[in-house]
Structure 1
Amino acid sequence: MNLFEKRPIKLQLLVVFVMFLLVTVLVMALTFNQSKKMLYEKNREYSAELLDKVTQYIQSQLDNIDSVVKNTIYNPEIHLYLQTEDVLEKMDFFRKVDSHVALVTQVQNGINSMTVIGDNGSNFNYMSDPYKRQAVMKTIDEISQMNNSQSKLYYAGFRTIVANGSEQNFFMLGAEIRNVVPVKHLGYMVAILDLDALFPQFDTMLENGFGNFYVLDRNGIVSAGNDSAMLGKRLDLTEWNSDGRYVVQSADVPEIQGKVVNIYSKYDLQRGLEKVWKTYLWIFALVVPFMLFVLWVINRNLIDPIRTFMRFIQIRQVKNIYYHQMRLQMTGYYEITVMADKFNEMLDEIGNLTNEVVASKTRIMSLGLMKKQAELAYLKQQVNPHFLYNMLESFKGMASETGATDLLDHITALGRMLRYSIKGHEEVTFEQELDIAKSYIQLQLFRFDDRFEARIDVEESILSCRVIKMILQPILENAITHGLENRIDKGHLHLEGRMKPDGDIVIRVRDDGVGMSEEKLASIRMDLAAGDEFLERDRNKEHLGIVNVHNRLRTMYGDEYGLGIKSAPGLGTEVSIHIPGQRGVPHV
């Protein structure tokens, strides 16, 4: 990697360009292969759905026809017509049969005509057309040769009948007519069905399909489909199954003892892949010229100016030309021209920069000395907190043994505050911070002999929110020592916490102490606005506590959060703390 970084930029750009092309080709190849698999499976599933759709449509049509035909073969008037021998009664029943059949053929779409032939010589609509009559008799012969003890409907299959000098295709349906009680064979019923009504319009239904669909009757004859050339011919499925280039899917239609077959080539399963391939080619054809154009622009506007800059530096090193005798001139990207201008300005300001560097080093040394002095002063004033905590524990034990319960409570509160300040995470829950604030208020009440009253009103919803610790104690300390301590009569301290509609939290510490003048309030607000510069501009560190809290809040949560102060002489002071309402486990 280091060896590559030391190569010329132009060579690196060329390598990056080649790698980009290789990655692009690889990604396109992988996505193309994935698209191929997805299209294959999608088209296969779509073909199976179409096959199921066609099968359901045919079965629906057959169910409608079955109900009508069964109603006919069990019609009592037809039974009486086939059994009666009286001529007048036969004529009367004939009219009723004619009315029933006419109603059936008109109401039920798909039934072209219907013939009833009885064993007693009675018949209805025994067609005069010899071709239709031949088809009817052939169907009756096939029914009579079957052991049809339950009078099931018999779909004879596809028939071509010559009518009015032209061939027409129909589907034959027959059934045996039997009397129920007593069981007795009465005759036969044969219906000629229209193919268009029985089978779907494949051209419409398969508008987005592929391959050929065939509906086969019990004899394997193509009765319907989108391949009109195969209509009326036998379909040999073994021929298609033997060819690995085609896929054969079929679904049985038990009512006609036939099946619906879908035959398509495996190439059809990749339909739509050519569009993906053309899209990839277009992408490649656009990306490569674009990348070459980008390389040319980078070379013209970046690499060439850099070479000019390098030559300029070499000339200065060799000829030792003074800065006022030559200027660097480069064209290219905006940054290149800015770099040339700045470099020329640098040549003009070399002398001034030397003086500024010396002054800066002097200032840094002075600040370092001040920091060391501040650290030394802090160390002189610091007492080991662990030693203090251990001593408080000893005092706590002594108070417990002597029965000084009040003193024990105060020592416990002080120890809790000390342990809280030196141990644990920087971030705590607001409930933990509030507990320490309560301990601090307890100690101050003890110290001032209950010269003020404290009231705490905090919404329960904010107790689980995360805050940085030790933000309440400095505010409470200022309120008590600067506000309530100088009050003659009894004062009041109010700690309030609320959650705003936007989810942020506002905590207010309010006292009715002596308040502040406008000048002092303005000074504190200036200290808060000074931020990190506060330590330099305020040597006395009078407002160190609240400024420290303000800066910690802004550093942790952002400039929109922190402290706000309102005060007036004689009316007290209110300090508001604005923080985000963050929930969850406190960070370490």
Structure 2
Amino acid sequence: MNKIRRFYLNHVKRKMFNKIILIYSAVMMILFLIAAVMAYQYQVQRIIREESDANLKTAQVLAIYLNRQYENVQTMVQQIYGDAALSDDLVYFLNNRYESYLSHRLNLFSRPGEHRVQSFSSVLKSSLEQDPGATGVTIFSYPKNFYMQIRKQSQQLKYENGSKGDWESWFAERKYYGWDTINQYGPFLDAAGSSSSGTYAYFRELQDPWTLEKVGMMMVDFDADQLSAWLKTRTPDIQGRILVMSSQGTVVYDSQETGSYVGQAYPYRHQLDNTGKWTPLDESFKVNVLSAGNSELTVVGFVSKSSIHDSTVQLRNTLIVITLLFVLASFIVTSTVMRKHSKKIQRIIRSMSRIGEGDLSVRIQMPGEDELQQISVRVNDMCERLEQYIDKMYASEIRQKHAELVALQSQIQPHFLYNTLESIRMKAYMSGAKEVGQLIYSLSVMFKSMVKKDTMVTIQEEIELCSIYLDLFRIRYEGKLAVRIDMDREIGGCRIIKLLIQPIVENYIVHGFRSLEGDNEVSLSVVREEERIVITVADNGKGISAGRLQEIRQLLSDSSQPPRSGGSSIGLINVHERIRMNYGEDYGVTICSEEGKGTIVRVEIPVLREGFM
């Protein structure tokens, strides 16, 4: 106990770095355990998904096969009823004694000029030969109480050997559902001659196509063993259990060799669903329920929880061994690293003690290039230099930029007496000068927007200000100025520096507008291009000479010089400088112009939503 306490005091409590390493080691061990549990859960879910998908695939393949058998039976019946001679042959067979039927057939062959009529039994045999899963067809006669068993290699005629009540009761049950198994065929049938224990059958009532009278029933036998063999060729890796049930819930096929449910009503048929959850039946199952086309058969796939557990035992044991190995390796590595860094920390402590005693010539010699070596050499000097840089450069630059921004923005913030203009507007309305009153109202609204203290507005507000400004000149030069404004509504709420577009429009009115001509046109477009907002002001005005355009572009590219207080391009240069000071060097104003043809000014700013800045 004393050794443990001494170890704790010497290597844990008094050594912060060792504490960090121990905590890290504990965290890694916990993470290994969590990772192992998550990996186990993931693999279990993967196994469940794979086995469930494999079971579903098997059920789908089986459903397709059963539907094909059903369609073959329907094709066989349609072939008989589609040929009048064959259907007449079948109806005559069911309504007469077999001796009369044979005489009838001989009479048909003996008639001169009559071509040979194919019998219904030959058609049934031909259909049986085309379907390897079908073992035979039995035709029952209601009027004459006999049945004929047709096999691929033989044909037998037999009379019923049960009571009439059993015979009629059995036929009545067959009318309500089409599929059944051999143990439901009835005591009067020759089971040994008809099929084996692995047989299921489809029943269909026969009628006279002319009178629609029910004259008999057809039973088609299918070999369940052939179905299993076919299924293994298509899905050799069969997962879980597959049951095929008729519409009344009777199991006609069971993929398990025991076949414990064959011929019985499945007791849990009302609890089957496709929710994907574990369904409690005789045990917990994942259930896949499929309908076999139009055949009235249901294919149900089962994957049991016990089989999943058996599949994951080896996986669980492997993960336990791997996790223990990782934990052991982590502990060994952590212990080695802990001892190594503990020696480095002790060396730093001893050196710092000498420095504290006044030996300033001491230098900490730390091998390697890790954090401890960097701390020993540079951390104090780096922090001191960083503080100086922040204090001297960054803060002063912010103050300087802010002062320049205020100075620039003050150049284009007019302060007008809009209350006086409102009084003048009312006087104009009272005097009947409504057009003058409208001009004064627009000017008053524009002044109110200009004198607001906000430096940031929405694009929608800036566009409305430009629209009012242009309305003033449209009214003044009636019929001489056409204005077109296009703006993407999605960016109407984005933020923009106040009075950023209006000076550009004003440049056109002052320097580009042709007052003696009536085809003046200016267009304002605001669109979003990726993460930029592009504002384009285009006109068909006087344009700019090549020399003057070059001079303006030189002023726009020279960011080191503040805008001049005079000159015809003060508004344009001012806008460009304000954009670069607020948004950075990647944004600003570009201009294209041709003398006598017009000017295009393009402004690019970043996308800033409401509430930014």
TM class by shorter-chain length?
A: 0.5 to 0.7
1:333-378 CA-partner distances (Å, limit 9, x unpaired): 4x7766666569889xx9xx9xx979x9799999989999999999
Q: Does residue 266 of structure 1 match 2:286? A: no
Task: Map 1:33-182 onto structure 2 (within 5 A).
Answer: 54=62, 57-58=65-66, 61=69, 64-65=72-73, 75-79=90-94, 82=97, 99-108=119-128, 109=131, 110-112=134-136, 140-141=161-162, 145-148=166-169, 157=182, 161=192
Q: Which residue of 1 aligns with 2:274?
A: none
CA–CA distance in structure 2, aligned partners of residues 546 and 183 of structure 1: 96
CA–CA distance in structure 2, aligned partners of residues 61 and 484 of structure 1: 87
Q: Which residue of 2 aligns with 1:578?
A: 603
1:18-65 CA-partner distances (Å, limit 9, x unpaired): 345536645764785587579769967976886687577557636744
**1:563 paired residue among 586, 589, 594:** 589
Give, in angstroms, the shift of residue 147 of structure 1: 1.9
- TM-score for the superposition, normalised by structure 2: 0.58
**1:436 paired residue among 446, 461, 465:** 465
CA–CA distance in structure 2, aligned partners of residues 142 and 115 of structure 1: 19
Q: Which residue of 1 aligns with 2:232?
A: 203
**2:575 paired residue among 543, 549, 560:** 549
1:108-128 CA-partner distances (Å, limit 9, x unpaired): 23244768999999998899x
Contact kept? 2:138, 2:218, Cα under 8 Å? yes
SS, match of residue 11 in structure 1? helix
Task: Map 1:164-563 onto structure 2 (within 5 A).
Answer: 194-196=223-225, 201-204=230-233, 207-213=236-242, 225-228=254-257, 245=283, 265-269=304-308, 273=312, 312-322=351-361, 326=363, 331-333=368-370, 342=378, 385=415, 388-401=417-430, 408-409=437-438, 411-423=440-452, 426-428=455-457, 430=459, 432-437=461-466, 440=469, 455=481, 457-461=483-487, 465-466=491-492, 467-475=496-504, 495-498=522-525, 502=529, 504-508=534-538, 512=543, 521=552, 524-525=555-556, 527=558, 529-530=559-560, 534=561, 546-554=572-580, 558-563=584-589
Kindly provide the amino acid, as one letter, of the partner of residue 497 in structure 1.
Answer: L
Give, in angstroms, the shift of residue 332 of structure 1: 1.9
Contact kept? 1:521, 1:567, Cα under 8 Å? no
| Range with bigger deviation, 555-564 or 288-297 | 288-297
CA–CA distance in structure 1, aligned partners of residues 16 and 537 of structure 2: 60
Give, in angstroms, the shift of residue 474 of structure 1: 3.5
SS, match of residue 576 in structure 2? helix
CA–CA distance in structure 1, aligned partners of residues 396 and 526 of structure 2: 47
CA–CA distance in structure 2, aligned partners of residues 196 and 374 of structure 1: 91
CA–CA distance in structure 2, aligned partners of residues 476 and 12 of structure 1: 65
Kindly provide the amino acid, as one letter, of the partner of residue 433 in structure 1.
Answer: E
What residue ranges of structure 2 are gaps of 5+ in the alignment? 1-13, 82-86, 111-115, 184-189, 272-279
Q: 1:256 to 1:488 in 2, by over 3 A?
A: closer
Kindly provide the amino acid, as one letter, of the partner of residue 8 in structure 1.
Answer: M
CA–CA distance in structure 1, aligned partners of residues 44 and 547 of structure 2: 79
Kindly provide the amino acid, as one letter, of the partner of residue 549 in structure 1.
Answer: V
Give, in angstroms, the shift of residue 410 of structure 1: 5.2
Q: Which residue of 1 aligns with 2:5?
A: none
What residue ranges of structure 1 are gaps of 5+ in the alignment? 1-5
Pick the structure with greater CA Rg: 1
SS, match of residue 319 in structure 1? coil
SS, match of residue 145 in structure 1? helix
**1:18 paired residue among 26, 36, 41:** 26
Give, in angstroms, the shift of residue 554 of structure 1: 3.5
CA–CA distance in structure 2, aligned partners of residues 170 and 500 of structure 1: 75
CA–CA distance in structure 2, aligned partners of residues 188 and 513 of structure 1: 101
SS, match of residue 589 in structure 2? strand
Q: 1:525 to 1:313 in 2, by over 3 A?
A: farther
SS, match of residue 321 in structure 1? coil
Give the number of aligned pairs. 546
1:365-394 CA-partner distances (Å, limit 9, x unpaired): 999899999999999x99995x83444434
Q: 1:41 to 1:520 in 2, by over 3 A?
A: closer
Q: 1:279 to 1:462 in 2, by over 3 A?
A: farther
Q: 1:180 to 1:444 in 2, by over 3 A?
A: closer
| Range with bigger deviation, 285-294 or 59-68 | 285-294
1:77-114 CA-partner distances (Å, limit 9, x unpaired): 42476265699657558999995423312222324476
- Identify the structure with bigger relative contact order (alpha carbons < 8 Å, sequence gap 6+): 2
SS, match of residue 210 in structure 1? coil
1:473-507 CA-partner distances (Å, limit 9, x unpaired): 344566677x589x999999975434689573333
CA–CA distance in structure 2, aligned partners of residues 179 and 523 of structure 1: 103
CA–CA distance in structure 2, aligned partners of residues 374 and 84 of structure 1: 118
CA–CA distance in structure 1, aligned partners of residues 285 and 405 of structure 2: 89
CA–CA distance in structure 2, aligned partners of residues 497 and 227 of structure 1: 79
Q: 1:513 to 1:175 in 2, by over 3 A?
A: closer
CA–CA distance in structure 2, aligned partners of residues 205 and 215 of structure 1: 17
CA–CA distance in structure 1, aligned partners of residues 503 and 308 of structure 2: 76
CA–CA distance in structure 2, aligned partners of residues 123 and 573 of structure 1: 102
Give, in angstroms, the shift of residue 562 of structure 1: 0.7
SS, match of residue 470 in structure 1? coil
Identity, in percent, stands at: 15
Give, in angstroms, the shift of residue 268 of structure 1: 2.4
Contact kept? 2:544, 2:599, Cα under 8 Å? no
Q: 1:372 to 1:465 in 2, by over 3 A?
A: closer
CA–CA distance in structure 1, aligned partners of residues 150 and 507 of structure 2: 117
Kindly provide the amino acid, as one letter, of the partner of residue 505 in structure 1.
Answer: I
Structure number with higher helix proportion: 1
Give, in angstroms, the shift of residue 75 of structure 1: 0.7
Give, in angstroms, the shift of residue 471 of structure 1: 1.0
Contact kept? 2:204, 2:217, Cα under 8 Å? yes
1:411-439 CA-partner distances (Å, limit 9, x unpaired): 43442232112338655555643443455
CA–CA distance in structure 2, aligned partners of residues 51 and 366 of structure 1: 75
Q: 1:456 to 1:197 in 2, by over 3 A?
A: same
Q: 1:30 to 1:371 in 2, by over 3 A?
A: closer
Contact kept? 1:39, 1:269, Cα under 8 Å? yes
